[in-house]
Amino acid sequence: MTLDTQIGGPSGKFPATRWSAVRAARSPDLAERKRALETITAAYWKPIYKYTRIRWGKTDEDAKDLTQGFFTRLIEKNYLVDFDSSKARLRTFLRVCVDHFVANEAKAAKRLKRGGSAEHISLDFAVAELEMEQAKVSLTNSASPERIDEFLEKEFLCSLFGLAVEDLRKFCEGRGKNTHFRLFEILDLEDADSKHPSYAELAAQFKIAVTDVTNYLAFSRREFRRIALEKVREMTTSEDEYRREARALLGVESE
């Protein structure tokens, strides 16, 4: 899947700095910190669940318990207070935290069960498990640190991309622009190997002018870029990291 889009519009410049969840997660303000940690959880729970399943060889149920437990602990204990972006990427830091958490849980022979006394985090594990089956991913205990980081990077970008698509869908629905999103979905999200309908065929299908297909798609792509970049900004703490992650997500070359 490739989007025909350019970060930053005609000038080629990146948007101005926006709110960073990573920085806010260390805020002294409890409400801001909780909101930031929930944002990070939304972006990282699925990669961490898959990592726990594959890297640690955990069963579906055990991985669910561990993932719930880890992110509950992340919020309660504010692990990110120790995160230093100059030393590692966030996903690498979280992976190390997960490894320690899983090892400690195994040693203690106890696990934080879903539905227990701890705060419950709603996570759609069924979707994550289905994605794993479809991708047929493979990672073992002997995998190199580089390969593990590559796996987490790919999964994180997929997660971030999915969140951006879902936010675009809600954005379009809220403004009565369902056709705009549907055109984006057909032309930019469906299997690249399949034959896409022409603009004329889409115009006939949705009973709009061919020029409307062009304009609707341009709108959806522009809004998707904006939303995706906001997601990237939330997960980064420096301009260099932001540019690197944005290019990885949207496939944009250096300026």
Say if residue 29 is in the same domain as residue 138: yes
| Position 215 confidence tier, pLDDT thresholds 50, 70, 90 | very high
- Confirm if 34 and 75 have CB atoms less than 8 A apart: yes
Average pLDDT, the chain: 82
Q: Rounded CA gap, 198 and 200, in Å?
A: 5
Q: Which range marks the domain in which residue 69 is found?
A: 18-143
pLDDT in tens, 3-20: 433 333 333 343 344 568
Q: Is residue 3 part of a domain?
A: no
Say if residue 107 is in the same domain as residue 176: no
| Position 140 confidence tier, pLDDT thresholds 50, 70, 90 | low
pLDDT in tens, 141-173: 666 777 877 888 889 999 999 999 999 999 999
Q: Is residue 198 part of a domain?
A: yes
The identity of residue 243, as a single letter, is R
Say if residue 136 is in the same domain as residue 23: yes
Say if residue 133 is in the same domain as residue 180: no
Q: Is residue 175 part of a domain?
A: yes
- Percent residues over pLDDT 90 in the chain: 44
Residue (of 11, 7, 49) closest to 231 by Cα position:
7
At 102 the pLDDT is: 93
Say if residue 123 is in the same domain as residue 172: no
Say if residue 132 is in the same domain as residue 237: no
Residue (of 21, 29, 18) closest to 94 by Cα position:
21
Say if residue 190 is in the same domain as residue 234: yes
Phi-psi category of residue 141: left, alpha or beta, with phi > 0 → left and psi -120 to 50 → alpha:
alpha
- Confirm if 234 and 21 have CB atoms less than 8 A apart: yes
Number of domains in the chain: 2
Both tokens of residue 232?
Answer: 């990237």
Say if residue 82 is in the same domain as residue 132: yes
Whether the full predicted model's pTM is greater than 0.85, yes or no, is no
Domain stop point among 143, 176, 199 = 143
